[in-house]
Structure 1
Amino acid sequence: MKLTAAWQEEIIRFAQELIRIPGFSGEEGRTAEAVARQMRRLGYDEVEVDRWGNVIGTIHGTRPGPTIVFDGHMDVVPVRDPEAWEHDPYGAEIVDGALWGRGSVDMKGGLAACICAGASVDRAKISGTVMVTATIAEELLIGRGLGKILEGRKVDGLITCEPTGLRQIAVGGVGRITAEMTARGLTAHSSKPHLGDNAIYRAMDAASRIRAMPRRTDPVFGTEVIELVEMKSKPSPGNGSVPDYCWALWECRLLPGETCDSFLQRFHTALQDFPGAEKVTFEPGRIAIDCYTGEHLEHEDFLPAWLTPAEEPFRRLVEQALSLTGIQAEPVIFRACTNASVSAGIMGIPSLIYGPGSLDLAHKPNEHLPIAELLASAEVYAAIIERTGFTQGSEHLSKVDSSSKL
């Protein structure tokens, strides 16, 4: 579907409006108001803001058919170094054919494109139901806002509009876990360290064992990531004392088949013959946030890997729509976690990732999105909606098969 000039202008205008609203995780209220207002203005049949602050817009087609979801998160990461930006990070300026600003790529551009695309399609061409979800707190609690929306709903397919660029479509994604390591010791005066047991040294030695663990690989998903990202000790400040406590955080990207328990067991196995292993413990991290509505969300920080295979009808529909718009998109594995980690990895809904922009620019100074990509992605979303009469009744994913081909 080719967008009219009026729709092109509207997508650009709305993307600019969203970028000019900061909206960090837990502070998405103004963004949610803008999204709900836009959906109502564009004629969505239903617009709901749930108790956690997610916005759900629904469009009903004129014929029976599947329910498909286009998803985008409303929150952005903070701007920590504004002096490094060439343009105002919340100015949404258009320079050299690109839209500049925090969230242009990750992912207010994609969110604006799918909201407008949904309304641009003639209802007579829509089979089933189209839902567009604007979700909260993805930058901290990946997928958990979307999960609240999807609970109890029958959904046949989902696209999260994170940046892949026009020529790639993510058909799977790695999993993740944050593993908290705690090492215990015995405090003593730092002038007589032999009377104590330094917990930092124990944590460093344990970390060396973990770093030496063989890394697993998968022919489709690549190599797992196990990275030490933070350490803290007590007492703190440590002047005059041997530390009796050291906490460390491992951030990891996981391959298919890995569970929370199986992954942490590998850490324990690495320390089997380690002196003082009984003084080192591991547990999954937890992340909590107070939503802008006042609701509290808290979850264990573990997400499984996922894959939507080539034979899945929803994936075939999307690939056909891409082809009809003249885009040949290479299937890839997304190396970061997204809302699809919950929709596909936990809830078994066939899911894909496709959106404008380069992930390489996300969370960085001078984030910007080419206008041409923004508009082209909206045309793809509209084409997908027009082809919603795909074969139904296929089984949703229940497992990730690491032997599957892209």
Structure 2
Amino acid sequence: MTDPVQLTADLIRCPSVTPEEGGAIQLLEKLLSEAGFRTQRPDRNGIANLYAVWGESGQTLGFNGHTDVVPTGDENAWDHPPFAAEIRDGIMFGRGAQDMKSADAAFVAAAIDFVTNTPPEGRIAIAITGDEEGDGVDGTKAILDWMEEAGEKIDHCIVGEPTCPANMGEMIKIGRRGSITAYLTATGTQGHSAYPHKANNPIPAMVHLLDRFASMELDQGTDHFDPSTLAITSVDVGNRANNVIPAEIRAMMNIRFNDRHSSDSLSEMIRAEAALVSGKFGVEIDVRFRVTGESFITEPGPFVELVAKAVEAVTGVTPELSTTGGTSDARYIKYHCPVVEFGLVGNTMHQINERVPVDEITALRDVYARVLKDYFSG
């Protein structure tokens, strides 16, 4: 059998800090190719990506993950070197231990063992990117663009991101909230603070506008989602003089929204509010947006139930079906096929001393193996 713990260690020892490939994609490409998978490298703009498929025809189950990791931070603050994959008392330390080289190792090991021992009547596809922790535009999105051009199709997909808050098996993500960031700039007329009537201070207008946003209830939640949230994340005047009324103030806010909204509907609402305040205060308010994902839901049904039963069979825990958390590459895959996420506990990801119990790596491999078995048994 392919050892997912050893494979996790091998991947951690590849210093693939985004956007560097670090050898991780090459390692998996070689391993999968030797196991009979046909591999492609849909690299784009210097980003390493891997697509591997086993089988010629039939229903296709896909797995998606990423090998890039966030920077280590102060390496001297780590108890063990961040790229050494040292194991102490059954715990493996290293950057990417939870997010998400363990899951990469787990589904690759499960897939290789499955096609080696019980070749299915169908296909298994594995899509791994080196651009999830960065901008993400040349990662999974690039793979999906290549798949469309090549006529490649996945019928269902599992993303291996960490999904469990505290205990292995307790949560599957069946959707994600959308995310939109609004950048607001209010422009007035600069002047002396002793003569405010000769200036047009944009600060009161921005404060009023932000107060309107902060006081809003966007919704009360939906069947599968918590209420949408709006967070003011920055207010910046950049004025170091106490006797100058500035000409400009900037602010930033982020909305995580459920399926009651879209980025278009929220953009329209924000622009309308800005226009009202602009007219009231006589200042110009410019608004621009960055959308990093729309909300989506994979409705509970046979595929979701199959994954949930596999998780329960291996872990003994009945998983909650959730849409909590931030964004993931599932936001791209949802346009291609039904997608769910299941992975490890994520309580140390991105932290100093990121770590994972090695028995959880094995358990995750066993869950993916059970999914493969049940999926291709009808």
TM tier, smaller: 0.7 to 0.9
Distance 1:201 1:121, change over 3 A: same
Query: For 1:366, what is the secondary structure of its paired residue?
Result: coil
**What is the rounded CA distance, in whole Å, between the counterparts of 1:81 and 1:248 in structure 2?**
31
Partner of 1:261: 264
Contact 2:205 2:283 survives alignment (8 Å): no
Partner of 1:333: 323
**What is the rounded CA distance, in whole Å, between the counterparts of 2:137 and 2:341 in structure 1?**
13
Partner of 1:136: 130
Q: Offset at 1:208?
A: 1.6
Matches within 5 A, 1:9-20: 10-20=3-13
TM-score if structure 2 supplies the norm length? Answer: 0.85
Partner of 1:222: 226
**What is the rounded CA distance, in whole Å, between the counterparts of 2:187 and 2:234 in structure 1?**
17
Contact 1:25 1:139 survives alignment (8 Å): yes
Say whether residues 1:377 and 2:372 are aligned partners.
no
Distance 1:218 1:44, change over 3 A: farther
**What is the rounded CA distance, in whole Å, between the counterparts of 1:370 and 1:174 in structure 2?**
29
TM-score if structure 1 supplies the norm length? Answer: 0.80
Contact 1:260 1:302 survives alignment (8 Å): no
Residue 208 of structure 1: which of 208, 211, 224 is its match?
211
Query: For 2:154, what is the secondary structure of its paired residue?
Result: coil
Distance 1:90 1:200, change over 3 A: farther
Q: Offset at 1:269?
A: 4.1
Structure 2 counterpart of 1:140, which letter? G
Distance 1:182 1:127, change over 3 A: farther
Structure 2 counterpart of 1:222, which letter? D
Structure 2 counterpart of 1:267, which letter? I
Partner of 2:141: 147
Residue 67 of structure 1: which of 60, 73, 79 is its match?
60
Q: Offset at 1:24?
A: 2.8
**What is the rounded CA distance, in whole Å, between the counterparts of 2:309 and 2:332 in structure 1?**
25
Contact 1:164 1:356 survives alignment (8 Å): yes
Matches within 5 A, 1:3-402: 4=1, 7=2, 10-41=3-34, 43-52=35-44, 53-60=48-55, 64-123=57-116, 124-142=118-136, 145-151=139-145, 152=148, 153-165=152-164, 166-188=169-191, 194-219=197-222, 220-233=224-237, 242-271=245-274, 273-274=276-277, 275-276=280-281, 279-285=284-290, 301-311=291-301, 313-325=302-314, 327=316, 328-344=318-334, 347-358=335-346, 360-389=347-376
Q: Offset at 1:121?
A: 0.9
Query: What percent of counterpart residues are identical?
Result: 25
Number of equivalences: 361
Distance 1:268 1:369, change over 3 A: same
Distance 1:326 1:87, change over 3 A: closer
Listed as ranges, the gaps of 5+ residues in structure 2 are none
**What is the rounded CA distance, in whole Å, between the counterparts of 2:172 and 2:292 in structure 1?**
24
Contact 1:187 1:241 survives alignment (8 Å): yes
Structure 2 counterpart of 1:281, which letter? D
Deviations 1:251-280 (A, max 9, x none): 221101421121122223444642337622
RMSD, matched Cα: 2.7
**What is the rounded CA distance, in whole Å, between the counterparts of 1:176 and 1:324 in structure 2?**
34
